[in-house]
Amino acid sequence: MKTQRNLLKLFMIPVLMFGFGYLMVPIYDVFCDLTGINGKTGSITVAEASQQKKVEERLIKVEFVSSVNELGPWEFKPDQFSMMVHPGQAYHATYTAKNLLDKDAISQSVPSVAPSKAAEHFNKTECFCFTEQAFKANEERTMPLTFIIDPDVPDDVDTVTLSYTLFTKSIKS
Amino acid sequence: MNAHVADTHEHHGPEKGLMRWITTTNHKDIGSLYLWFSLIMFLIGGVMALIIRAELFQPGLQFVDPQFFNSMTTMHALIMIFGALMPAFVGLANWMIPMMIGAPDMALPRMNNWSFWILPFAGTLLVATLFVEGGAPASGWTMYPPLVLQTGAAFPMLIFSVHLLGFSSIMGSINIIATIMNLRAPGMTYMKMPLFVWTWFITAYLLIATMPVLAGAVTMLLTDKYFATSFFDAAGGGDPVMFQHIFWFFGHPEVYILILPAFGIVSQIIPTFARKPLFGYSSMVYATASIAFLSFIVWAHHMFTVGMPVAAELFFMMATMLIAVPTGVKVFNWVSTMWRGSMTFETPMLFAIGFVMMFTIGGFSGLMMAMTPIDFQYHDTYFIVAHFHYVLVPGAIFSVMAAVYYWLPKWTGNMYDESLGKFHFWISTIFVNILFFPQHFVGLAGMPRRIPDYSVQFTDFNMISTVGAFGFGLSQLLFVYIIIKTVRGGEKATDQVWEGAEGLEWTLSSPPEYHTFTVQPDVK
């Protein structure tokens, strides 16, 4: 009897550890979100953004970068290459993407912010990266984003680079 | 005739023919099966290593195309780790643990049969990937996405093979833990167990805690490729770096799975030939347990260059360096055991001393890489290749060879040829150093690993290395010859075999009966 109880306990270890392997996925996400590692940016509501105080005396340069994953059939460019912004104020920027295929396609853009210590202070109230973007064949479209840099952003940050990678989610045949 | 039948019935000897091996539940039979399987895989993996070294004899592309070269590095690692080393240790555990703790057999003999017989299928599945469309996996044994997702038809075979290997080692480990917990002879308290039993006890826990994590990680790869999940796919909100974290959460304990049983073997052999009890027995046990614990909190030192916050890099650097403390305790204990002992240098002792020396070289280069800023220079160069081959070849593999020479007379009842054994040790040791030592230099100079071509200034050292590789490879044919010769016959071994040998296994006859310790001995 004792042996069987021991065995049951022993077999539970691999089962639990298999589950733990999967549990590492949400743990990893939460950890990166909390610490801003991995360039994960925050998102806040418009109401929250309007409560932040504009810091007049500080100017931060925001650079916009784009890339297309695995040479997908896309043209993808920021419409402005950089902006000077005050922390605590919301700004509007746009990217333009074009589907180069003669077929409908769905894209997903994934953001990343460098340096990583600025990432958790870089918040977006609106972004084309929040949802999948459907494109008709050969359609070209300007996609908006509204961001606000938190007034708590570390003092030594004077340039923030925002990069988007555009992925092909699916292509309709 | 009648007497013979009655006799076999009484002693319940082995069945005859092939079915004996397929249906066996005897720990000695299964131990032998594991060891033969391991030897075959060792030779297959070795041929792959020689293909790699032949290609690297000169700069430029000579013999194989780059894709196949990368298949060779990937398959060599997978076969050597999962096919050769782990089964070798499980085979030794099967043979020796019941005999060392006075148990009649393993606790779960039928599951024991299963855990072995899964292996040939897993191994075949893995080796068969060489012949499918798209070639064998070529992404490195670490299977990082997104590269590994580009593997062709071999991909699902690789994943299922890893699953099967995982099942086999989890079942084997549970069996070992159950045996040690429940079947010790009366009086054999935990702190009286031989150190080989202790290190395996701890290793088995590492295995059941980490193999399922690997199974989870490769299952995620499988669903990412075929079932549209996005665990590691940035387009779907996943992250390829997360795979590296999950993989190395398994991968780092795995490297201790490959070395802790080796520590146990060496801790059996050195006292025998120094004719002194092991120095610091209980500190050895605690050191093993500390290494096992630390192995769970150092995984990110495999990925210092991936982009981590400084705080994390510092933590993993410090934790990694901390492992040097219990490891140092072990090395000093082995040296202290030899200190003022009446040493003789039979083949197992030579391999054990070779292990202590050369494992320590690998340990030191490991300490160098533990330092985050220095690791940025060494990462993915031949320096790391030299490091882990020093701990795994003249480390783990030498310990397996030491164990085979040490226990082969007990298993077969025949002494091996001592002068051939010594010759095998010396040519192996000389060639293994010719093989791996120059790789430190080319690594420091910046030669990247897993690339079939290199800059011309690395040519001399690579040529030396290749010469060493072929020398080492051919030396192992001598090992195979010595084993087969000993199994077939030779000078009869005594029950104690070695003058200084102590422990329950040496109280049995050489070779032992098919069933031993059916009445458990009393341990004082």
Torsion sign over Cα A108, A114, A120, A126: negative
CB pair distance less than 8 Å for A13 and B208: yes
Residue A141, both tokens: 């479209």
Instruction: Give residue A36's pLDDT band: very low, low, confident or very high (50, 70, 90).
Output: low
- Residue B76 known to be catalytic: yes
Output the average pLDDT for chain B. 93
Closest chain B residue by Cα to residue A166? B235
Which of these ranges, B17-26, B365-374, B405-414, has the smallest mean pLDDT? B17-26
Residue B244, both tokens: 């590296």
Task: Report residue B139 CA to chain centroid gap.
Answer: 22
Min Cα–Cα distance to chain B from A22, Å: 6
How much is the ipTM here?
A: 0.83
B115: which chain A residues are within 8 Å (Cβ-Cβ)?
none
CB pair distance less than 8 Å for A21 and B212: yes
A7: which chain B residues are within 8 Å (Cβ-Cβ)?
108, 174, 178
A110: which chain B residues are within 8 Å (Cβ-Cβ)?
234-235, 237
CB pair distance less than 8 Å for B237 and A3: no
Model confidence at B6: pLDDT above 60: no
CB pair distance less than 8 Å for A169 and B234: no
Instruction: Give the pLDDT confidence score for residue B355 in this predicted structure.
Output: 97
Interface size A-B, in CB pairs within 8 Å, comes to 82
Task: Report residue B145 CA to chain centroid gap.
Answer: 26
Instruction: Give residue A69's pLDDT band: very low, low, confident or very high (50, 70, 90).
Output: confident
Cross-chain CB nearest to A28 (options B205, B216, B242): B242
Same domain, A73 and A5: no
Average pLDDT over residues B135-139: 93
Q: In terms of pLDDT, which residue wins out, B426 or A127?
A: B426
Same domain, A22 and A101: no
CB pair distance less than 8 Å for A14 and B245: no
Q: Which residues of B touch A (CB under 8 A)?
A: 107-108, 170, 174, 177-178, 181-182, 205, 208-217, 220, 231, 234-237, 239, 241-242, 245-246, 249, 307-309
Same domain, A46 and A99: yes
**Per residue in B268-285, pLDDT tens?**
999 999 999 999 999 999
Min Cα–Cα distance to chain B from A56, Å: 30
Q: Give the list of residues 6+ apart from residue B140 with CB closer than 8 angstroms, or none.
A: B70, B73, B74, B77, B147, B450
CATH of the domain at A121: 2.60.370.10
Torsion sign over Cα B441, B442, B447, B449: negative
**Per residue in B180-198, pLDDT tens?**
999 999 999 999 999 999 9
User: By the 8 A CB rule, do B94 and B179 touch?
Assistant: no
CB pair distance less than 8 Å for A10 and B177: yes
Closest chain B residue by Cα to residue A15? B212
Residue B329, both tokens: 């305790």
Instruction: Give the pLDDT confidence score for residue B11 in this predicted structure.
Output: 55
Instruction: Give the pLDDT confidence score for residue A42 in this predicted structure.
Output: 66
Could you tell me which of B404, B395, B440, B396 has the C-alpha nearest to residue B424?
B404
- Residue B141 known to be catalytic: yes
Same domain, A9 and A72: no
Average pLDDT over residues B459-475: 97
Instruction: Give residue B7's pLDDT band: very low, low, confident or very high (50, 70, 90).
Output: very low
Enumerate the β-bridge partners of residue A147: A91, A124
- Residue B455 known to be catalytic: no
Q: Quote the number of domains for chain A.
A: 2
Other CB atoms within 10 Å distance of the CB of residue B464: 17
**Per residue in B222-257, pLDDT tens?**
999 999 888 998 767 788 899 999 999 999 999 999
Cross-chain CB nearest to B216 (options A18, A28, A32): A18
Catalytic residue among B27, B252, B389, B440: B252
Please give the residue range of the domain that contains residue A8.
1-35
Checking DSSP bridges between strand A122-127 and strand A90-99, what pairing results, if any?
Answer: unpaired
Q: Which of these CATH numbers, 2.160.10.10, 1.20.210.10, 3.40.50.620, 1.20.1090.10, describes B29-507? A: 1.20.210.10
Closest chain A residue by Cα to residue B183? A3
Model confidence at A38: pLDDT above 80: no
B209: which chain A residues are within 8 Å (Cβ-Cβ)?
13-14, 17
Instruction: Give the pLDDT confidence score for residue B471 in this predicted structure.
Output: 97
Same domain, A62 and A9: no
Model confidence at B33: pLDDT above 80: yes
Angle at B138 between CA B253 and CA B397, to 5 degrees: 45
- Residue B190 known to be catalytic: no
Instruction: Give the pLDDT confidence score for residue A131 in this predicted structure.
Output: 81
CB pair distance less than 8 Å for B234 and A15: no
Helix (H, G, I), strand (E, B) or coil at A94: strand
Instruction: Give residue A107's pLDDT band: very low, low, confident or very high (50, 70, 90).
Output: confident
Model confidence at A71: pLDDT above 70: no
CB pair distance less than 8 Å for A24 and B212: no
**Per residue in A12-35, pLDDT tens?**
999 999 999 999 888 888 887 776
| DSSP 3-state percent helix, strand, coil across chain A (nearest 5) | 30, 40, 30
List chain B domain ranges.
29-507
Min Cα–Cα distance to chain B from A89, Å: 28
A6: which chain B residues are within 8 Å (Cβ-Cβ)?
178, 181-182
Residue B274, both tokens: 């120094």
Alpha-carbon gap, residue B347 to B478, rounded angstroms: 14
**Per residue in B54-90, pLDDT tens?**
999 999 999 999 999 999 999 999 999 999 999 999 9
Instruction: Give the pLDDT confidence score for residue A127 in this predicted structure.
Output: 85
Enumerate the β-bridge partners of residue B254: none
